[in-house]
Amino acid sequence: MGRTGKLLLPVFLLAAVFSACGGGGGGGTDTNVPQRTLSWDPPTQYTDNTNIANPLQELGEYWVYVKTDNTSFTPADDYVVVSAVDPATNLLVESFDLRNAYLPLSLKTGTTYYVSMRAVSTSGVASDFSDPSPPFTF
């Protein structure tokens, strides 16, 4: 059972690792745009500094927000949902190909974007926003 208190420091090292190599597609991926892989370290603590006892059961998903400026992200901004646990491997997810957000968020080639993330517990409590990523384009 998940905690009900304030969840997770945004401890993702949004060291946004963007690469421009080709790669396999997935549902919702536009393979005509280059791969842009966002990588992070899953959070390990709640904001009260207690450890997340069982991340595989307590982390539900990540909300990946994408917008054209790096001013404060808000819950009203567009985002895509990424499961926190890969059902095929039962491991925590630590990366996301932003091509998977290209079509659902109506992103455009040549436009500069920024990304921020929130971790969400299985009980629906969301973390604060991570710091925005470096800018990127498709």
**What is d(CA 116, CA 127) in angstroms, rounded to the nearest whole number?**
11
Query: What tokens does 116 get?
Result: 């921020």
- The pLDDT assigned to 113 comes to 94
* Residue whose pair of structure tokens reads 């963007």 in the numeric block: 18
Neighbours of 5 (CB within 10 A): 12
Q: What are phi and psi of 120, to 5 degrees?
A: -130, 130
Delineate the domains of the chain, giving CATH numbers in brackets. Answer: 1-138 (2.60.40.10)
pLDDT in tens, the chain (138 residues): 444 445 544 433 333 343 333 333 345 666 688 888 898 888 888 877 788 889 999 999 999 999 999 889 999 999 999 999 999 999 999 999 999 999 999 999 999 999 999 999 898 888 889 889 889 888
